[in-house]
């Protein structure tokens, strides 16, 4: 069965930085909505997030762009003069990064699994530095 990629996944899969950046810029606006942050996961037909796709196929710049998009959106939403505190921002950023970095696809694989499978050492290091769960098991009980 052929894989079906939604348009953003096609651009990530191809490593198209310009189109991915345009999509993420538009998505950043939606992330301010109540449940809009879930759009960043935007799974394809196999439950793979855009970050998983970028990591699996070695598109390091795109992986960083996706993470930065989340951080920018959280910063813009959380830091208001009335309620903005460093602790609130830090906790919220950690929550969203954890949600995206440790998202599992239908095989139970995370972006870290994808990067390891593809042999993309630079991406593995990046994911570990931002909080990827190195003990996460996929459906085959592999870390």
Please list, in sequence order, all residues whose beta carbon lies within 8 angstroms of the beta carbon of residue 95, skipping any fewer than 6 positions away: none
pTM metric for this prediction: 0.80
Total number of residues shown for the chain: 143
Interval 57-89: pLDDT, tens? 999 999 999 888 877 776 766 544 445 455 566
Distance, CA of 135 to CA of 143 (rounded, Å): 6
Long-range pairs of 44-47 with CB within 8 A, sequence gap ≥ 24:
44/3, 44/4, 44/5, 44/6, 44/9, 45/3, 45/4, 45/5, 46/3, 46/105, 46/106, 46/107, 47/104, 47/105, 47/106, 47/107
**Highest-scoring range by mean pLDDT, 11-15, 16-20, 70-74, 126-130:** 126-130
Contact between 131 and 101 under an 8 Å Cβ cutoff? The reply is: yes
DSSP-derived letter for residue 141 is S
């Amino acid at each position: 069965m052929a894989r079906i990629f939604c348009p953003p996944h096609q651009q990530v899969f191809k490593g198209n930085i310009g189109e991915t950046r345009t999509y993420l810029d538009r998505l950043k606006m939606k992330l301010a909505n109540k449940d809009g942050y879930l759009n960043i996961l935007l799974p394809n037909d196999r439950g793979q997030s855009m970050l998983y796709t970028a990591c699996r196929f070695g598109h390091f710049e795109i992986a960083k762009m996706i993470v930065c998009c989340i951080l920018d959106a959280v910063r813009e939403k959380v830091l208001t003069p009335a309620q903005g505190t460093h602790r609130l921002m830090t906790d919220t950023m950690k929550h969203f990064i954890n949600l995206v970095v440790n998202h599992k696809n239908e095989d139970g694989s995370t972006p870290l699994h994808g990067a390891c499978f593809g042999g993309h050492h630079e991406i593995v290091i990046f994911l570990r530095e931002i909080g990827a769960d190195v003990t996460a098991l996929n459906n085959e009980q592999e870390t």
